[in-house]
Amino acid sequence: MEQYLDYFLDAAANPVKEINRWKEEQKGSVIGCLPIYIPEEIIDAAGALPVYLWGGKTEIDRANAHLQGFACSIVRAVLEYEFKGTYDMVDGFVFPSTCDHIQNTSDIWAKAFSHRPKFDLVYPANRQSNYAEQYLTELYREFISWLEVLTGSKADDDALLESIKKYNLHRRLMSELSEIRAKSPQSLTGREMSGLVKASLFLPKDEYNSRLIELLPWLWERRIREKPKTRLVLTGILAEQEIIDIIEELGGCIVADDLARGARLHRNQVDESIEPLAALARRHLSLGPCSTLFDPGKGRGPYLESLCRETEADAVIFINMKFCEPEEFDYPVIKTDLEKAGIPLLFIEVEQQMTSYGQLRTRLQAFMEMLA
Amino acid sequence: MAAISKSEEMLLTLLVMNYGLPKQADRKENPVAWCTSIAPVEFLRALDVLPLYPENHGAIIGAKKMGVELAEVAEEAGYSTDICSYARVDIGQVMTGKSPVYGLAKPDFLVCCNNICNTVIKWYENLARYFDVPLFLIDTPFNHGLKNSESSINYVEGQFREFIPWLEKVTGKEFNMERFMEVARISTETSRLWREIMELAKHRPAPFTAFDSFRYMAPVVTMRGTPEALEYYRLLKEELQQRIRDGVSAVPEEKYRLMFNGIPVWYEMRRMSQLLARYKANFVCSSYTNAWILQFDCDNLMRSMAEIYTSILINQSLDRKAANYENLVDDFSLHGIVHHSNRSCKPYCFGLYDLSRMSQARPNAVPELIFDGDQTDPRNFSWAQFENRFQSFMETLALNAAG
């Protein structure tokens, strides 16, 4: 079973190689998706491979001619990677209306890479409107047509239903993985967990699912470390490997997360009993809480409280992706909520291009000592 | 010193009314709503709801140089310095009650329209939580192409139809369609006058500067749909036309005609206008003031409002923006364009570099300057740097003029 785990971890370390392998074998199209909440089922049903593009560590050079330094590091890295040719195996790109950074980068992209096919998923932000579902369903129909031109294959209702089932299974399995992390934290390290999540962002789901199904019972029984002293919940956009490593070196253990590149992706299922596009639209409109989705009730604080209770976590770490306005507006509210609930909270700030973690380590250390 | 003109007197009265009245407003009869700067306020006016504008108030806070003080209050409460400074100073004034005017009366409900940015969604979520009042979001999908899609306009129109019963519920009043039509007609008429006034600056020399129009704009932003605002622009237009007839130039010996693209640097209005005058340069138009030209087709009101409120330039593709600026270069006989790369306003400035390259590639290209700044937070702006860059920019223009 160890080799099954290695399969995921190797893939996570070599996304380009894995994606190229799929392309070689399947002769299919690769669709690059900017964060977050892309209806991957539709892409899958058109026979293409959805891969998430969350930026990464790369020195920003040519992107500086297009985007100011106060754009978030994810969009700057995505532009830079395209300039560098890192995304050459990607056949088409999807830009959702997640935030002003991504929305406006889409237009910059259209000018800089006008030869590259792109689709804009401008989501209905007013999730309370009765007109949102119809608008979103029509948007998904346009998306299907765009994909058909690109791939030569149309995502019909039968294909959609099959893909929905595949992704529902995937989300169930990812939720079970989260459950293992919470109930049996001795079973896997934070590094392994984030490798598994990272691999899920680009591996074909049938392959991913079938291997994870084999792996899960083994993981439940696996014991590779002591019972952790300090149990933590991470919230934010994403947690770079370095942060997770530092937390674990300091004796902490991540028992749950509310990360955009993490648990937020695997919430809510798609109803398999109704018309597929309406079902996909309804899933989107019911998602949350998330800083990028309209939430006048500000449910994220209470959500984190209950997540802490369920997973017996001692504290929350808010990992702020520098310049992420949606997250930065949520933070003061969460801070108030968690203070009231008596849950310790640490705010740390990261950028994808950062290279020095010394200061972060000091702050994390002080926090962990305070908790102990 | 010359006596102040009739329009100036009226502007001052309107501003005092707008900021003074809410404190005494009979809250049962006239509920107060806070709304975003280009929200469809006609619905509110039709119900005699008093709309108040945190962004406009933020501009005043900036101009009166209270930006840092109030932003720091928000930062103390956990708001990042990366967040739009209008939002930060607003949260600061909410928490302290401090304001250079009378402050904003507490809202009974909130109306947020994201045709200017998505920041306002988060900002208003937090206000709704703070005041514990209802919030209505009007979502106007961003247009990445040349035309808004049918389905997005259907969706916006649908939200308008939901907005009416929502307003009736939160105000306890009955919505009167005829009254609404009348407000929309006044609003359209006001916008038409506003456009005509902006176009008067096509005249050489221009009778006013963008620094003037940043003040003239207050009623079209905050009192759109009222007879008072309409009357103000009638007066203003007459006076400006008279200035043209009298050969008055806003900038003595106007030589260079520039466009200002972006939100003003509110706390540097005076120094900037003096600097420009020194070079015989005038900002004769600005993309910011043009944003309030909202002329509805009153025969097809809901549809037309949905289309127009969604089509705010900042909610549109770079191609749409570029086409708009291209026309301004010829229409206003521009010699140059100055862009504000505004740390607060992401939609206004992400894409600016490409927009500038697009206009540079056109036959009617004029020199452009992009400077770094912030609308309300002077900590993100360096006067010395701006002055330096502006000076070299003017040297380029002088060379062009000589060549």
Angle at A348 between CA A307 and CA B71, to 5 degrees: 105
Q: Which residues contact A364 (CB under 8 A, 6 or more apart)?
A: A243, A246, A247, A250, A252, A317, A346, A348
> Tell me, what amino acid is at A101?
H
- Which of B135, B318, B347 is the closest to A100 by Cβ? B347
Partners of residue A67 in chain B, C-beta under 8 Å: 350, 353
Which chain A residues contact residue B343 at CB under 8 A? 68, 70
The stretch B39-49 carries a mean pLDDT of 96
Q: Scan for tokens 């409460």, then name that residue.
A: B77
- Among A107, A139, A332, the residue with its CB nearest the CB of B79 is A332
CA count, 13 A, side-chain hemisphere, B262: 29
Domain assignments of chain B as residue spans, ordered by start: 1-403
Are the C-beta atoms of residues B263 and B253 closer than 8 Å to each other?
no
Structural contact between residues B293 and B194, judged by C-beta atoms closer than 8 angstroms = yes
Smallest CA–CA separation between B154 and chain A, in Å?
Answer: 8
Closest Cα partner for B290 from B317, B263, B319, B268?
B263
In a domain, residue A81? The reply is yes
Alpha-carbon distance A129 to nearest alpha carbon in chain B (angstroms)? 6
What is the spatial distance between Cα A266 and Cα A278, in angstroms, rounded to a whole number?
19
> Which of A105, A119, A126 best probes binding to B when mutated, by most B CB atoms within 10 angstroms?
A126
Q: Is A268 a member of any domain? A: no
Contacts of A281 (CB under 8 A, 6+ apart): A132, A133, A136, A137, A140
Beta carbons of A275 and A317 less than 8 angstroms apart:
no
Please give the backbone phi and psi of residue B4, each rounded to the nearest 5 degrees, phi first.
Answer: -70, 150
Q: What are the chain A neighbours of B380 within 8 Å (beta carbons)?
A: none
Q: What confidence tens digit (pLDDT) does each residue in B103-133 have? A: 888 999 999 999 999 999 999 999 999 999 9
Question: Are the C-beta atoms of A201 and A167 separated by less than 8 Å?
Answer: no
User: Under 8 Å CB-to-CB from B370, ≥6 apart: which residues?
Assistant: B339, B341, B352, B353, B356
Are A328 and B79 a contacting pair at CB < 8 A? yes
| pLDDT for A132 | 98
pLDDT at B24: 52
Question: How many other C-beta atoms are found inside a 10 Å radius of the C-beta of residue A120?
Answer: 26
Q: Which residues of B touch A325 (CB under 8 A)?
A: 82-84, 118-119, 122, 346
Q: Round to whole Å and give the CA distance between A243 and B320.
A: 42
* DSSP state letters, A1-60: -HHHHHHHHHHHH-HHHHHHHHHHHH---EEEE-SS---HHHHHHTT-EEEE----S---
User: Between A65, A138, A322, which is nearest B353 by CB?
Assistant: A65
* B128 vs A contacts (CB less than 8 Å): 296, 298
Length reported for chain B: 403
Residue range B296-306: average pLDDT?
96
- Indicate whether this complex's ipTM tops 0.90: yes
Letter for the amino acid at A302? Answer: P
Question: Searching chain B, which residue's CA lies closest to the CA of residue A337?
Answer: B129
Quick check: B121 and A294 CB within 8 A?
yes
pLDDT in tens, B377-403: 999 999 999 999 999 999 999 998 887
Q: What is the C-alpha to C-alpha distance for residues B256 and B399, in angstroms, rounded to an integer?
A: 12
Give the other-Cβ count within 10 Å of A15's Cβ: 20
Contact criterion met (CB below 8 Å) for A216 and A188: no
Q: How confident is residue B23, by pLDDT bands cut at 50, 70 and 90?
A: low
Query: For residue B86, which residues of chain A lie inside 8 Å, CB to CB?
Result: none
Asked if B229 and B193 touch (Cβ cutoff 8 Å), the reply is: no
| Neighboring chain A residues of B348 at a CB cutoff of 8 Å | none
**Are A129 and B158 a contacting pair at CB < 8 A?**
yes
Write down how long chain A is. 372
Task: State the pTM of this model.
Answer: 0.96
Inter-chain residue contact A332 with B83, CB threshold 8 Å: no
Measured between alpha carbons, how far is A181 from A184 in angstroms, rounded to an integer? 6
Please give the radius of gyration of chain B, using alpha carbons only, rounded to the nearest integer. 21
Which CATH number does the domain housing residue A47 bear?
3.40.50.11890
Q: Which residues contact B220 (CB under 8 A, 6 or more apart)?
A: B190, B191, B194, B229, B233, B292
Question: Nearest C-alpha of chain A: how many angstroms from B354?
Answer: 6
Q: Which two tokens stand for residue A361?
A: 């380590």
Given a cut of 80, whether residue B141 has pLDDT beyond it is yes
Contacts of B152 in chain A (CB under 8 A): 122, 135
Q: Are A266 and A168 in contact (CB under 8 A)?
A: no
Quote the number of domains for chain A: 1
pLDDT band for position B20 (50/70/90)? low
In B77-176, alpha helices (H):
85-96, 119-131, 150-171
Other C-beta atoms lying within 10 Å of the C-beta of residue B242: 12
Mean pLDDT, range B319-339, rounded to an integer: 94
pLDDT digit string, tens, across residues B161-208 = 999 999 999 999 999 999 999 999 999 999 999 999 999 999 999 999
Closest Cβ–Cβ partner in B119, B124, B318 for A100: B119
| Residue A305 to chain B, least CA–CA distance (Å) | 17
pLDDT (tens, 9 = 90+) of chain A, 372 residues, equals 888 899 999 999 999 999 999 999 999 999 999 999 999 999 999 999 999 999 999 999 999 999 999 999 999 999 999 999 999 999 999 999 999 999 999 999 999 999 999 999 999 999 999 999 999 999 999 999 999 999 999 999 999 999 999 999 999 999 999 999 999 999 999 999 999 999 999 999 999 999 999 999 999 999 998 888 899 999 999 999 999 999 999 999 999 999 999 999 999 999 999 999 999 999 999 998 999 999 999 999 999 999 999 999 999 999 999 999 999 999 999 999 999 999 999 999 999 888 889 999 999 999 999 998
Which residues on chain B are in Cβ contact (under 8 Å) with A99? 118
Burial class (CB in 10 A: 0-12, 13-18, 19+), B245: exposed
Q: What's at B120, amino acid-wise?
A: V
Residue of B220, B227, B217, B215 whose CA lies nearest to B295: B220
Rounded CA-CA distance B22/B223 in Å is 13
Q: How far is B193 from chain A (nearest CA, A)?
A: 32
Percent of all residues in chain B with a pLDDT value above 90, rounded to a whole number? 88
The boundaries of the domain holding residue A36 are: 17-153
The pLDDT of residue B1: 43
Indicate whether A224 belongs to any domain.
Answer: no
Note the pLDDT of residue A267. Answer: 95
* A75 beta partners: none
In one-letter notation, the amino acid at residue B309 is Y
The pLDDT, as a whole number, for residue B101 is 86
Instruction: Give the minimum alpha-carbon distance from B377 to chain A in angstroms, rounded to a whole number.
Output: 15
Partner residue facing B139 (CB), from A110, A126, A138: A126
CB pairs under 8 A between A and B: 150
Residue B307: is its pLDDT beyond 50? yes
Question: Which residues, at least 6 apart from A24, have a Cβ–Cβ distance to it below 8 Å?
Answer: none
Based on the number of CB atoms within 10 Å of its own CB, is B1 exposed (0-12), middle (13-18) or buried (19 or more)?
Answer: exposed
Residues whose CB falls within 8 Å of the CB of residue B344, separated by 6 or more in sequence, listed in order: B84, B85, B86, B263, B374, B375, B376, B377, B380
Q: Best mutation site among B73, B138, B139, B321 for testing chain A: the one with the most A CBs within 10 Å?
A: B139
A325/B119 touch (CB, cutoff 8 Å), yes or no: yes
Other CB atoms closer than 10 Å to residue B392's CB: what's the count? 10
Looking at chain A, which residue has its C-alpha nearest residue B141? A122
Give the whole-angstrom CA distance, residue B37 versus residue B57.
10
